[in-house]
Structure 1
């Protein structure tokens, strides 16, 4: 049995697939297989996979009717034989040491569940400034603690950069179909189950940003889908961890912050106050909830603060202020989005 199974769904990927495959067969780790799933492509995807399989026995292509990425991932997972499953996309490129570096993290830590790596942005930083900024953000999160605290802001790792213990992946049911991003749902589920995450400090994957990327085109990756998914898992976490649950204080009295925070109401949360620094808002009430200044926050332990402010530099400033007041991130407050 191979140590690592690389699981790569492929759909209409003939233009980029050869580069992705070359980057995999050239890995420095010798003990792995590539389970490449052709998700009913009508282009030359299957021909490319077949050509690689004919020259390298580690390549195990699988062809299925088109059913979407979750169906392809689940079909591929059933064919993976390795104790570790590494994700890869057919339009990305691995650096030579990717599999070896991530497998080493598992070898050195038997309790590790998920290992990722820093990624190199493969798009135009000018045309895709938001995506490039997201790459910079996930690259700043290396430890389990950093990723765990940030998980309700956004997915703290890139899906095609991940390697997961196969038994853990199967035990949690793998990827799920639904009106939500399948990767983000998986990470939130694994965090909720207590899995530990790590991230290699090196850039080991070029994460390309083609116009047809699913996260740009599919409704499951729309902002509303992310917010609804986050609210579900955030409410579960708060119910277990926040001493004042179901009462919470929301930092941010603007329309966007209130709309996102309102999703928690469907899970039993009760917002007792909004915090804002705008003197025109302080002292008002929004649907009966008072808007207070930050100086009016009660002592730590008397409320749990959810900061929904995402403007540049705001999270750092709010975090520093709350820390100065004695609030502890993860115990008394969280940054969310």
Structure 2
């Protein structure tokens, strides 16, 4: 009988060997925790579609930020939910608006121990739920929206944000925000550009998380799921306009775009494991169909393996605690 001389299984014989030769690893410093903070809440409000995730009060947000810093997370991404909305998203640029207050709260709590990030978009603040200002005909006005983004970026910088995340997929949004920040002396505030943000069905649970008032859909500005090269073109433009990092969102269905971006660009690549990805794991685990902890770890490793050096995930604190232990 002829036996194989090459036996790859030798490198899988026990956990110690598998750990020794593992090609990719997760680290808390690469994980970003997305957090929702709602104006007027006195205590956290659990989300039915995302078991284990809540809308936070300002006080519970501070506690969460302190815990995230203690676990060594890379950062926290803040989403603000106001009690009042209007057509132009006035709350986004109000110094006393919930998102700007949240940024100031977290900076006061953690200082520079954690990268404090904020989603730079109008959808949580507009009564129509779109990411920008509308024309009289109801279309999103790209260039009028850029003026609002520029003002929002400055407001967040004045509140103390380390990094802003323009996520509305408006043409020229990174250049508009970078120019506004630099013009006000905020050259050190960095930009994590949502470079390839797709019009995905997996955003569903996020609508509950931010009390969305969306009318219609966002397919005229978010990307078509059929297109990969277009995503790379969008990221290339964002980098040329001054983005410090670029992101692919969602992660799960677009790992090919993550991999192509990592091969092509020399800036850090981020990927967002979004609400629908989280909810699917939780629902399947609750029904006993999958091993929850293994599924969480495997899903994040797949994003890391594809080439993302930064991962936004609602599992950030749980995974960081597990890695530490």
Please indicate the TM-score interval, normalised by the length of the shorter structure.
under 0.3
> Which structure has the greater CA radius of gyration?
1
Higher relative contact order structure (alpha carbons within 8 Å, sequence separation ≥ 6): 2
- TM-score using structure 1 length: 0.26
- TM-score using structure 2 length: 0.26
Higher helix share: 2
